[in-house]
Amino acid sequence: EADIYQTPRYLVIGTGKKITLECSQTMGHDKMYWYQQDPGMELHLIHYSYGVNSTEKGDLSSESTVSRIRTEHFPLTLESARPSHTSQYLCASSEVGGHTQYFGPGTRLTVL
C-alpha cells in the first residue's frame, strides 16, 4: 500500500457548499496530481503540482482550485459545489523523474 491518504472517503453535500478534499503523502514526493473519475470511466487529470508553490491546471477543465504550501499536502477546494461535480476524486504522487504514480483510495463526492 502506498503512503498516500485522502479524506474524507465519502462525502454527500448540498448544492452551493464549499468543500475541501484532503490529500497527504508521507513519501516525500515532489509531484502530486488530482484526477477526476466517473464510475467505470477513464481518469482525467484536473490539477498537478511539481513542488511547493507550484500548481498547474490539467487536461480537464475544472472549477476546483488547489494549493501546495507543504510538500506532503495537496488539498483540492470547490468554492460552490454543484451536482455536476459528483464524481470520484483521486490523488496521486510521484518522485521527480519517476514514472510510477502512487494513488490514494479516493474521495467519492455526491452533490445533491
Partner 1 sequence: SQQGEEDPQALSIQEGENATMNCSYKTSINNLQWYRQNSGRGLVHLILIRSNEREKHSGRLRVTLDTSKKSSSLLITASRAADTASYFCATDRNFGNEKLTFGTGTRLTIIP
Interface residues with partner 1 (CB under 8 A)? Answer: 2, 4, 6, 31, 33, 35, 40-43, 45, 48, 58-59, 88, 90, 92, 94, 97-106, 108
Nearer to partner 1, 74 or 102 (CB): 102
Q: How far is the CB of 82 from partner 1 (least distance, A)?
A: 23
The pairing of strands 19-25 and 65-66 is: unpaired
Nearer to partner 1, 64 or 104 (CB): 104
DSSP code for 88? E
Could you tell me the CA-to-CA distances from 45 to 16, 17, 42, 89, 102 in Å, in that order? 24, 23, 10, 10, 14
Q: How many CB atoms lie within 10 A of CB 81?
A: 22
Nearer to partner 1, 17 or 44 (CB): 44
Q: How far is the CB of 55 from partner 1 (least distance, A)?
A: 14
Distance CA 93, CA 100 (A): 8
Nearer to partner 1, 15 or 111 (CB): 111
